[in-house]
Amino acid sequence: MNYYGVFGNPIAHSKSPLIHRLFAEQTGLQISYEPLLAPLDGFTAAVAEFFTQGSGANVTVPFKEQAFVLAEQLSERAQRAKAVNTLKKLADGRLLGDNTDGAGLVNDLLNNHVVLAGQKILILGAGGAVRGVLEPLLAQGPAEVCIVNRTVEKAEQLASEFADLGHMTAAGYDWIDTPVDIIINGTSASLSGDLPPLADSLIKAGDTVCYDMMYGKNTTVFNQWAQQQGAARTLDGLGMLVEQAAEAFYLWTGVRPNPTPVLQQLRAQL
């Protein structure tokens, strides 16, 4: 039996234990996966204790940056993200840190037949969620990725850090009003029912695709706005959650699960 879990604080709400249990059932692997509540000032000690027996762990808020520092080896995408959401114990006992969030986003978009290559993509926000997805997103070859943030300097800093991977620009919300192909909401505004101050003209009716990294039982405020402006499609972040978990499961086990039935089951339970 291999032991896995997810570190966070709070953690009781996490859907990861259910997702990985369903992956294990689907693939026939015998694993244990538990929610792991780490003290806010005791993450390092909690990780050390877990990995005396554990094989791998996911990491969620607020520990992703601490996990980045703790990991003794880093994947390229984790180095770029400067955050780790997946830890794996290597054969020599060292901890590998990876970040599967961006792969989760890209895979979900591609699963939904959203074309990324050659497209103009607007990303709202310049925090950790956005940083974590930029490397895999740019690897798809979009024509441009524009980071939009209330504090323009943060957007500009992020754009400059990733400029070697593709055409990156930065803007404030009041700078942009011409239509784009894809808008990705990487802010947490939807959690509080708020909408970033977006120009309605950003959406080309029947053409623009909008994606909210947040999700809920009901359509998020951002996606409601997008639908009102005639967006071709709106998607939420539940698929990203399942896809990033599938990427972690594959990293740990070498077996790639099928996320589709798991996503359908989670959607039905919302």
Residues carrying an active site annotation: 64
Beta bridge partners of 2: 31
Cβ neighbors of 106 (< 8 A, separation 6 or more) are: 116, 133, 136, 137, 139, 140
DSSP character string of 152-202: HHHHHHHHHHTGGGS-EEEE-GGG--S-BSEEEE-SSGGGGT------GGG
38 and 69 Cβ atoms separated by less than 8 Å: no
> 86, 32, 23: which is closest to 54 by C-alpha?
32
| Phi/psi of residue 16, nearest 5 degrees | -60, -45
> 164, 114, 112: which is closest to 139 by C-alpha?
164
For residue 240, the surrounding DSSP H or E stretch is helix 238-253
Beta bridge partners of 12: none
For residue 96, the surrounding DSSP H or E stretch is strand 95-98
